Structure 1
Amino acid sequence: MKSFEQPIRIGMVGGGPGAGIATAHRAGLRMDGRYDLVAGVFSRDLDKSRQAARELGVDESRVYASYEAMAVAEAAREDGIEAVAVVTPNASHHPVSKVFLEHGIHVICDKPLTDDFDKALELHRLAEDRGLIFTLTHNYASHAMVREAARRVRRGDLGAIRMVQGEFASGWAAGDVESDTDNKQAAWRTDPDQAGEASVIYDLGTHIHHLARYVSGLELESLAADLSTVVPNRRVYDNANVMLRFAGGARGALWITMAATGAEHGLRLRVVGSKASLEWCHEDPHHLQIRYPDGRREVLAQGGATLSADAEELTRIGLGHPEGFLESFANIYSEAAGAIAATRTGSRPARDELGYPSTADGVLGLEFVDAVRLSAATDGRWTAVGQLEL
């Protein structure tokens, strides 16, 4: 390997025993050999953090009692981490990310960017001012067939975009998950202090909002929202219906819930144009459907010969070998690794329009959250969005 091809030295904050999403992050950072996980604060409990380090093959001398101590110590080491993966609950994304940025360390953070719009904007400006790479893991946009969908929209295959319909109808919290004391995800995702009262929007809504923007290439102009709690005694909103108006006149709608009884992951997007429409579903991620006015339906498969270079770059094996959730994380981590490696020689390559999600996407996601909350609080009033210049 040349020096700039050496794996990125990365640390992790969060991701101790029972932290589900951290498993996907670790699979993603390791899949293509672009990173070495060398340090971490895997739990608030130092003993549990050390246990996690042993299981992950991380030297216990580089397990820290706090993320602040980790940032200071690693920034001072000649072989210190170049990047950190932040896989903690929403409320801590801002303070954790901020301290590493302040110490010159690139950040790869789980979504949402923060739990507050102003804090998100602060992180965006800090990363820009310091010339650091900040990657947000909206991983669904890194599925090969989602990238194919976005490319086909950009090159005009669908014609003028008229409608965008998305749903993230998950059933994981359709029951009384709060009573399961061993369910760490439920413990924080249904806690308004950790996940926000509008938990379903922070958790699932920011994903489908980003996916709708990413594939359609459109930005929101206004929205009207209804928030509700369908599971008795729950302290956060678990269901939302949002109508959308896009710049340029297209219309849309989103259904977002974590309480759809019997549903699996439930992520689906449809984009309707004047020439054709497309549909992608997370539970069948390696296929993309295209429908035409004459009734024809084309089903594109990942690895197929007619796909764009964009989709080919995100495909590891080929036709007939499905790639999914973990590979989507690997795609984000690999694209981020390329950008981080470039900074070793003092450059900061421009991010491709269809590349890894950035702080700008995170800020727009928090703007969406705030607009949904405001609209719902005013009985579904149409609320302006998309007024930012980033």
Structure 2
Amino acid sequence: MKHEAAMLHTHPTFKLAFIGGGNTSAVGYVHFCAAHMDHKFQVVAGAFCRNQENNKATGIHWGISSDRVYDDWKYMVEAEKDHIDAFVVLTPTPHHLEVLQYLFEKKLPVICEKAMVCGPKEIAALRPYYDPEKQFLAVTFNYSGYAMVRELKHLINSGKLGEIQKIHLEMPQEGFRRPPDIAGKTSQPQAWRLQDAEVPTICLDLGVHLHHLSSFLLNEEPSHTLAEFSNHSQYANLVDDVHMLVKYASGIKGSMWMSKTAIGHRNGLQVRIYGDIGSAKWLQLNPDELELNFNDGRREILDRAGQCDYAHQFRYNRMKPGHPTGFVEAFANLYSDIAQDLASFQQGQTSSNSYVFGLEHAADGLKLFAAAKRSTQTLGWESV
């Protein structure tokens, strides 16, 4: 806490500029709220939307000075690069490569919404522009920001579940079959989500989260995968349901399921992990609890008010237990970690925050789903 307080004393707030993320974005307002929640960032400029009416409306809604709301993102970068601590990339994933190449070429600090790019080929195209020793990058995989997910990682690392043997992750949604009704208006899928790229867009949208959580919890990358891609929606030739088996070099086995056509699931993100002593289950719809089972017959529900070894920290308890934390708070936890990393970067120090992930982690996830695509073609196990 002393280190964090010292950081805030030298940097009351970091100044951010958004590229994308306007009032028609799926994630823009979440980033805006999360960045401001702990008073470590302030969004001061943006090129929020190509539609200039929506662009200006976003600036007004967020209290951005009208002379710092830009029609063109490249013009904004040139105008603001000496006044901004980091640029936040929130455009649709197919546009990320162009934006990231431009920002990296100018050695500017970047916070990028996942998926970083559309596949391994775009990662390869990005590498010549990026020097991890000289440039700041944080890719926002936010689900590991949940306090009880971090508690689960602590339990695993402490050996409370024994030797891990199996992990199963799923993220079923219903949006292609039952588009969400938000404030009385049906929210149809965005156009870019209805076109598959080098890897299926569902893998960029949902799958990278499952990869992130598995790697975050296990400290290990999958080595092989066997996959099946399906189409169950009205959108022809689009992968909207994915089943994957995965293997790890350590001997751990696992599975991943993601879907846009699972009626009844708004967002059924779930993690189940099994060791030879115990098991744990976490559901995003009940984010403050972990269900634990042990081989002596004990069954426990661990929550933030319980005997947590990690999630009891003040930073994860903005409000006392009984008032559940949620998605935006998890995102804010990640933004606090990014602030710590950004402060270290500006002071010329090596990044040491284990909750902030960059290009290599993003690349690992995209390699996994490229291997899954090959598996659907060969009908066999593929090496990642």
Q: Which residue of 1 aligns with 2:91?
A: 88
**Alignment CA distance shift 1:235-1:197 (3 Å):** farther
**8 Å contact 1:151–1:310 — kept in the other structure?**
no
Deviation at 1:151, TM superposition (A): 1.2
Within a 5 Å distance, the mapping from 1:95-134 to structure 2 comes to: 95-121=98-124, 123=126, 126-129=129-132, 131-134=134-137
Q: Which amino acid aligns with 1:172?
A: G
**8 Å contact 1:107–1:134 — kept in the other structure?**
yes
Work out the CA distance in 1 between the residues paired with 2:313 and 2:96: 31
Q: Which residue of 2 aligns with 1:187?
A: 191
What SS does the aligned partner of 1:334 have?
helix
**Alignment CA distance shift 1:91-1:71 (3 Å):** same
Work out the CA distance in 2 between the residues paired with 1:132 and 1:303: 40
What SS does the aligned partner of 2:46 have?
strand
Q: Does 1:370 align with 2:374?
A: no
> Alignment partner for residue 143 of structure 1, among 143, 146, 168?
146
**8 Å contact 1:121–1:363 — kept in the other structure?**
no
What SS does the aligned partner of 1:167 have?
strand
Within a 5 Å distance, the mapping from 1:175-254 to structure 2 comes to: 175=178, 183=187, 185-192=189-196, 198-254=200-256
**8 Å contact 1:286–1:301 — kept in the other structure?**
yes
Unaligned segments of structure 2, at least 5 residues: 1-5
Work out the CA distance in 2 between the residues paired with 1:371 and 1:314: 37
Work out the CA distance in 2 between the residues paired with 1:124 and 1:292: 45
Deviation at 1:264, TM superposition (A): 1.7
Work out the CA distance in 2 between the residues paired with 1:27 and 1:56: 10
What SS does the aligned partner of 1:70 have?
helix
Work out the CA distance in 2 between the residues paired with 1:220 and 1:310: 31
Q: Does 1:314 align with 2:291?
A: no
**Alignment CA distance shift 1:226-1:233 (3 Å):** same
Q: Which residue of 2 aligns with 1:340?
A: 342
Q: Does 1:11 align with 2:17?
A: yes
What SS does the aligned partner of 1:20 have?
coil
Name the Cα RMSD after superposition.
2.3
**Alignment CA distance shift 1:29-1:65 (3 Å):** same
What SS does the aligned partner of 1:28 have?
helix
Work out the CA distance in 2 between the residues paired with 1:261 and 1:164: 24
Work out the CA distance in 1 between the residues paired with 2:21 and 2:334: 18
Within a 5 Å distance, the mapping from 1:317-328 to structure 2 comes to: 317-328=319-330
**Alignment CA distance shift 1:348-1:124 (3 Å):** farther
What SS does the aligned partner of 1:224 have?
strand
Work out the CA distance in 2 between the residues paired with 1:34 and 1:184: 34
Equivalent pairs, count:
374
What SS does the aligned partner of 2:190 have?
helix
**8 Å contact 2:173–2:267 — kept in the other structure?**
yes
Q: Which residue of 1 aligns with 2:46?
A: 40
User: Relative to structure 2, which stretch is displaced further, 282-291 or 110-119?
Assistant: 110-119
Work out the CA distance in 2 between the residues paired with 1:356 and 1:311: 19
Unaligned segments of structure 1, at least 5 residues: 386-390
Deviation at 1:303, TM superposition (A): 4.1
Q: Does 1:171 align with 2:174?
A: yes
Q: Which residue of 2 aligns with 1:28?
A: 34
**8 Å contact 1:239–1:256 — kept in the other structure?**
yes
Deviation at 1:191, TM superposition (A): 3.0
**8 Å contact 1:147–1:311 — kept in the other structure?**
no
Q: Which amino acid aligns with 1:364?
A: D
**8 Å contact 1:127–1:134 — kept in the other structure?**
no
Work out the CA distance in 1 between the residues paired with 2:350 and 2:296: 47
**8 Å contact 1:303–1:312 — kept in the other structure?**
no
Deviation at 1:74, TM superposition (A): 1.5
**8 Å contact 1:133–1:336 — kept in the other structure?**
no
Q: Which residue of 1 aligns with 2:3?
A: none
Kindly provide the CA deviation profile for residues 12-71 of structure 1, in whole angstroms up to 9, marking residues without a partner as x. 011222212111111110100111111111011234312211111111212223222222
Q: Which amino acid aligns with 1:8?
A: F
Kindly provide the CA deviation profile for residues 225-248 of structure 1, in whole angstroms up to 9, marking residues without a partner as x. 000111134342000110111111
Q: Which amino acid aligns with 2:368?
A: F
Work out the CA distance in 1 between the residues paired with 2:383 and 2:262: 29
**8 Å contact 1:304–1:318 — kept in the other structure?**
no
Q: Which residue of 2 aligns with 1:388?
A: none
Given the two structures, how large is their TM-score scaled by the length of structure 2? 0.91
